[in-house]
Chains A and B, each alone.
Chain A
Amino acid sequence: MNLDIYSELRKLAKSSKYQTIYGSEKPLGLRIFKNEYDFTDIQITFLGYLSFYNQLNIDIVMGDVDEMVLKDTIFEDSYIYYKTRNRKKQRKEDKKKQEQVKKENPKKGEPKVDMKSQWIFRKPKGFSRKPKG
């Protein structure tokens, strides 16, 4: 794929038409492509861009980033890069904190086992597979 096709793909993915279809795909069952599976490379790339712009629009609405971001593809890429890096850094820090808690208080760090979600198969008392007779 040449660069022109990528820029064209981005324009389409950013358009309100495709963003609406993407947002309504699950709740309303609208479909983006004619084919349901066996996606081509260009379709997979397009799905990636749809998700990219969906995230960007959410972040603008939430006030995480200025609307100016949509003025240039370099702004868009830079913001998403910054966000991804930040998230990775945050995860690392969280992991470090968790490990620290485990070291300081090993019992607290152990994962809890939720007994409610476990199925127990036990024969009821007096139950027998043999036919009565």
Chain B
Amino acid sequence: MEAKKVVPVVKEEVKEPIKEVVPEIPELTKEQQEVIDKETEQAKKLMNQDLTKVAIENNEYEFEVEGKKYKVVRPTTAQKQEAYTKKVTQYMKLLQMKDDNGNFIYYPDKKLREIYKERGIDVDEYDRKIEGLSNERNSYQEKLGKMLTDNPVETEVNILKEEIVKINDKVVEFTVARNSLLEYSLENQSIGFLYEYLTYAMTLVQNDKGEFVKCWNKFEDFKNADSLLTNSVGVYAGMMLGSMM
């Protein structure tokens, strides 16, 4: 009897083509595209006006949006106090806000850091890294500063400069990462609200008599206003207020 040859059956591996994961981007409607184009154009226009020069000239800025004249003026002490009270109210509202399952939606900065830690993300580590890098930068700055006082050699100062540039890039990277993790903290949310409220309070519009009057009667009107206008107003208000409070 002839022995049957046992030939092992080798299954050919069927390689599936790698599927590219491409996020689905919904097509923009004509109206949405128009809004984006308009806003981009407006932003460019603002920049072309040499924004910074305009901004330092005075403590109020006048500008035009779709043929109407607007003015952003520095907030009065009374307006600041009113905005601060609203901020506290908003903070308390967010503190107690719950979702459909009865869970709190917003958490204070400290609690949010604890939650992140449980999920394996150490936000405090970002702070430590930023502080460490700042100290490292200070040491390089001191060396570079000293070098510049005594017949500096261009190649040598440039080496130190490059080190500082690298550190600055890292600081920006860690700061952005840290800030985006804490974006939804109660503190950040209420500060964001404070800026919005002040922007609403600071904006005036020219009426038919040529007088500048309050642009919106209620905060809700500001929230529902055309983003083309609120974005322009926001740029000016941001420069006036800076990182106040």
Contacts and interface: CB of A to CB of B under 8 A. Distances in A.
Given A33-B58, A81-B145, 7 more contacts: A33-B57, A42-B240, A66-B149, A68-B148, A78-B148, A78-B160, A79-B149
A70 to B, nearest CB: 10
A125 B239 CA distance: 66
Contacts, number: 101
Contacts of B140: 78
13 contacts: A1-B243, A40-B74, A42-B56, A43-B56, A46-B56, A64-B149, A65-B148, A66-B148, A75-B157, A75-B161, A78-B144, A83-B145, A85-B142
Contact size class for A?
20 to 34
B152 to A, nearest CB: 5
**What secondary structure prevails in chain A residues at the interface with B?**
helix
A75 B242 contact: no
Given A66-B148, A68-B148, A75-B148, A41 B141 contact: no
Contact size class for B?
20 to 34
A12 B56 contact: yes
B240 A41 contact: yes
B35 interface: no
A34 interface: yes
B239 A78 contact: no
Interface string A81-103: 11101000000000000000000
